[in-house]
Structure 1
Amino acid sequence: MSTDRVLGGRYELRDVLGRGGMAIVHLARDICLERWVAVKVLRGELARDPLFRGRLRREAQTVAGLHHPGIVSVHDVGEHVDDSRADEPSVPFIVMEYVAGQSLRARLREGALTLEQSIQHQVEVLSALEFSHRAGVVHRDIKPANVMVTPDGGTKIVDFGIARVGGDPGATATQPHALLGTAQYLSPEQVRGEIADARSDLYSAGCLLYELLTGRPPFVGDNPVVLAYQHVHEDPRRASAYRTEVTPSLDTVLVTALAKDRNDRFQSARSFSEALQSAAKGLNRADGCAATDNVVPFPLLGHATTTSRGSTASRTGHSPSPPARDEKKATTRSA
């Protein structure tokens, strides 16, 4: 294997797991520890740009400080130097936990989730967001593509590439007041160019829950401008209009989560989760959507959750042999 495929003399690059405008994510083998990891490598053409180099470094620093079973882990960072190209700059990379499984985006494409599955995934996402927000980190791009579903059914949030850290707008992975994120899941204040806070993530999480329950985001448009207008000025249809099993209580939770004014939304991920789990108690067991017994209660901060699907330890991504590749099943795909 050529040296340009072994980063830092340690990480042997294999399949490409995801591509983005800033970076490429590879499946890789950690030669020293004999485990599979995901390596996010800055695109070569961007390696000379201090803005993008700094953005990748801050992403690594941000995620490295978040130790939660529902957030992808960072193992290492480094810079690769190609000895055959002495005139080229070093290329930064991040080594992350390899998350076997598929994104919620891919899972939704396979068919509708039960209400129980939807609520279970949402509760776990909110647990991770509560932990992130307590640490002063606002993700700013919560969406189905950035939530991985592990083989045992757990969830992990990935891609903190545009996260905002702390109360200082300058301590963000990109320039403040820029329109960042994905149009279908942007909060109204992000559309207006205002600084995002934890409640902005909760709006995006509301969009996520809406899509988990109905199979479609709350707003659909031909272009980002149309979507932006809808987020600011229009109210989505009740989720029950698209799926009759959605109860009035769940509709009410979504109305609060998707309020235009952030002061009218849930003020924390915990309060969002508690309202959702309370609404879940009204689901009809006869519809195959019972959600009261299996939904994981909101965990204590800083404690890993163990569910009936398996222990947290089983979500580490360690594997003694190369994981099977399935193009429909992406792994840590932040790019």
Structure 2
Amino acid sequence: MPAPRVLGGRYEVGSLLGRGGMAEVHVARDTRLGRMVAVKLLRSDLARDPSFQARFRREAQAAAGLNHPSIVAVYDTGADTTVEPGGGRVELPWIVMEYVEGRTLRDMLRTDHPLAIEECLSITEGILNGLEYSHRMGIVHRDIKPANVMITPAGEIKVMDFGIARAVSDSSATLTQTSAVMGTAQYLSPEQARGEQVDSRSDLYSTGCLLYEILTGRPPFTGDAPVAVAYQHVSEQPRPPSALAPQIPPAVDHVVLMALSKDREHRYQSAADFADDLRRAVEGRPLRGASFATQTFAAAPPTAATTVTPPVAVPVPVSPPTGALPRVSDGDPPYEEDPARRRWPWVLLIVALVLGIGGVGYALLNNDGGSSSGEQTSSAPATVAMPDVVGSAQADAESQLTRLGLTTTVTQQADDTVAEGNVISTDPEAGAQLTVGTSVTLVVSTGSNAAVVPDVSGKTQEEARAALTAVGLSVGDVSTGDSPTVDKGEVISTDPAAQASVPKGSAVALTIASGKVTVPDVTGKPLADAVKQLRDLGLSTNSTETTVTTDADPGTVVTQDVSPDSSVDVRTLVNLTVAPERTATESPTSTPTGSPTSSASPSSSPTSSGSQTGAVGTPTEDGNGQ
């Protein structure tokens, strides 16, 4: 059997896991760390193309800086030189990634659909958690689709394949010199389809398309060619998901349609906002952001006092950008429809265009005729007074404005004085005279922007992360430190400290216990002091008297068996050797202590027995008080 292929001197390449339009993914073994990894190899037939080389390197650079539980980690990258059949040599780059056991969301949809609504929303929230992190790190994925989402047997969500990801500061650049648009047709944002600048909100649109598909079993737009699907993303409105799956509640409809707004200013502005409304939809709480998108699908009723004739809707086709038509990756197979049904949208579109243009011409002719004859052909538009809805709940304010024939646009703003969900201000302000149909902007409070750092000391890192997320904070830098009182792997402290007030969205640094302490130097200290110092550090002690002659003071530590400044586990035993208590000794010329003159002779020399025993303090002297 041939020897396995080894990359970088350490990765033994194994069986094929999958193949895409640009690369192959193999299981591999990291011989240095003894773990299984996944290795992505650029296809050899594309290795000579500089644009594919650049895209492959960009994936490694984009994903290597991301470290999040919902993103497949990148461990290493490199390139091997291979020899082609003709003898030519080519650099074949590779990326080493986290090996994730599980299956893609695409595979799950093929076998498990329909999914429960709660499961659909949970999967989408996991994707949004990963995107919130990557967007905060300045990376836009640009190719969110079911085939790029892994689900582990434990239900964990992993976003992968940052192959066309770009930094936000560079997101306006195209990926090829022909200004081609990369991505998968069913999940392209309108701005991607038009070849415009892309930002994080494009990922949210793609996530909305993905959520639409896992709820209903089909993407919001389908067609027989990628360009036709891209055209629909630009110019057509999707049907509400509940039109295909009646069990979907209105709140979920609103969230999906908000995410699929053509104008990115009217979409969710962050993945966190999108995920928050998903949770609110599941829990039956009022939505924060999903109000604008519903206006496209529900017209405001006329007031009782006035009758408003709605204008004739004239569909205006949006042309693709000049130059080359968008090139769309077919990483996911196009959704198949019946051929006869494919033709009907185009037929209807042409009919609508003809009728619309005819209606506009007819209206212009009537207006000209009326003007020339001096007759008034239309009445002044109806107006209403803008009510004062400041301080009202968002739903109440929208209902009141709708009854007056006005439409609403909602923006959100933190406010420490206005309760969450209530209106802070309106544009126009109360009292203004407005034409029926005017859009009113409601500025709605998201509540206080301040959050109090919870006390997470003694909790595991995951428990701390959950506690911080619950109050609107995130985990920042994680470092380790020594602590004799906190178990290994638990939080010692946070920065900012517990109970500190910080803006929501702030990152809190964690210091995690290493389970170790540094041993101090206790030699020369009294035994009691040395034992206390070591035990305060969580260390155990044992002491014995030395049998070696020493000049050290009695009862002081002579040696310790663990070197000072050593880093050891908490509760490690440190053995101490202590200088013994001194005993009275006799000199060769001393007089026995029992001699009558040992202590009373006035002419005793300095070396007499009495002087010597007095120096060492014998019990006899202590007892006699001499």
Deviates more, 1:160-169 or 1:58-67: 160-169
Larger proportion of strand? 2
2:40 is equivalent to residue 40 of structure 1: yes
Which of 126, 129, 143 lines up with 1:127 in the alignment?
Answer: 129
Q: Is contact 2:105-2:150 (8 Å) kept?
A: yes
Shift of 1:9: 2.3
TM-score in terms of structure 1 length: 0.81
Aligned to 2:81: 81
Aligned to 1:67: 67
Aligned to 2:98: 97
Deviates more, 1:86-95 or 1:191-200: 86-95
Q: Summarize deviations over 1:32-82 as a string: whole Å, max 9, x none.
A: 222111101112222233332222122111101011000010011111234
- 3-state SS of paired residue (2:89): coil
Deviates more, 1:199-208 or 1:236-245: 236-245
Q: State percent identity of aligned pairs.
A: 56
Corresponding residue pairs, total: 292
Which of 147, 150, 153 lines up with 1:148 in the alignment?
Answer: 150
Q: Is contact 2:48-2:90 (8 Å) kept?
A: yes
- 3-state SS of paired residue (2:61): helix
How do 1:182-193 and structure 2 match up within 5 A? Answer: 182-193=184-195
Cα distance in 2, alignment partners of residues 303 and 184 from structure 1 = 35
CA 1:50/1:2 → structure 2, altered by over 3 Å: closer, same or farther? Answer: farther
How do 1:114-263 and structure 2 match up within 5 A? Answer: 114-169=116-171, 177-263=179-265
Q: Is contact 2:175-2:182 (8 Å) kept?
A: no
Shift of 1:300: 4.4
Shift of 1:169: 4.1
- 3-state SS of paired residue (2:77): strand
- 3-state SS of paired residue (1:193): coil
Structure (1 or 2) with the larger CA radius of gyration:
2
Q: Summarize deviations over 1:127-165 as a string: whole Å, max 9, x none.
A: 111111111111011011111001101111011101111
- 3-state SS of paired residue (1:204): helix
Cα distance in 2, alignment partners of residues 138 and 177 from structure 1 = 18
Cα distance in 1, alignment partners of residues 203 and 215 from structure 2 = 18
CA-based RMSD of the aligned residues comes to 2.4
Shift of 1:6: 1.7
Q: Give ranges in structure 1 of 5+ residues lacking alignment.
A: 284-295, 305-335
Cα distance in 2, alignment partners of residues 277 and 205 from structure 1 = 15
Shift of 1:258: 0.3
Q: Is contact 1:147-1:158 (8 Å) kept?
A: yes
- 3-state SS of paired residue (1:80): strand
Q: Is contact 2:73-2:97 (8 Å) kept?
A: yes
Cα distance in 2, alignment partners of residues 106 and 234 from structure 1 = 28
TM-score in terms of structure 2 length: 0.44
Q: Which amino acid aligns with 2:99?
A: Y
- 3-state SS of paired residue (1:72): coil
Q: Summarize deviations over 1:8-32 as a string: whole Å, max 9, x none.
A: 2221111211212321111111122
Q: Which amino acid aligns with 1:79?
A: A
CA 1:41/1:80 → structure 2, altered by over 3 Å: closer, same or farther? Answer: same
Cα distance in 1, alignment partners of residues 19 and 186 from structure 2 = 20
CA 1:13/1:191 → structure 2, altered by over 3 Å: closer, same or farther? Answer: same
Cα distance in 1, alignment partners of residues 24 and 161 from structure 2 = 12
Aligned to 1:55: 55
- 3-state SS of paired residue (1:12): strand
